A = this chain, B = another copy of it.
Amino acid sequence: MDCASRLTGFAAEFETAFEAALHEKMENAPPRLGEAVRHAALAGGKRIRPFLVHECASLFTSAGQDTRSAAFAIECVHCYSLVHDDLPAMDDDAMRRGKPTVHIAFDEATAILAGDCLLTLAFEYLSSCRDTGPLSAILARASGGAGMVGGQLLDLAAEGRFGGGEAGDTATVIRRIQSMKTGALITAACEMGAITAGASDGQRRALGEYGSHIGLAFQIADDLLDAEGDAAKLGKAVGKDAHAGKATFVGMLGVEGARKRLGETVESARGVLGGLPGNTAMLSDLAGYIATRDR
Contacts and interface: CB of A to CB of B under 8 A. Distances in A.
Interface of A: 25-34, 37, 80, 84, 87, 89-90, 107-110, 112-113, 115-117, 119-121, 123-124, 126-129, 132-134, 136-137, 139-141, 143-146, 149-150, 152-154, 156-157, 161-162, 166
Of A87, A115, A132, A157, most B-chain CB atoms within 10 Å: A132
A128 B34 CA distance: 31
Contacts of A161: 107, 109
- Of listed A37, A117, A161, residue having the most chain B CB within 10 A: A117
Number of copies: 2
A142 to B, nearest CB: 9
B116 A119 contact: yes
Contacts of A124: 136-137, 140-141, 144
A157 B109 CA distance: 11
22 contacts: A28-B145, A29-B144, A30-B154, A31-B166, A33-B150, A89-B108, A107-B161, A107-B162, A109-B156, A117-B150, A119-B119, A119-B120, A120-B140, A121-B140, A123-B136, A123-B139, A124-B137, A127-B132, A127-B134, A127-B137, A132-B136, A133-B133
A145 B89 contact: no
B32 A145 contact: no
Contacts of A25: 144-145
A161 B90 CA distance: 22
Most chain B beta carbons < 10 A, residue from A123, A137, A141: A123
A144 B90 CA distance: 23
A256 B242 CA distance: 61
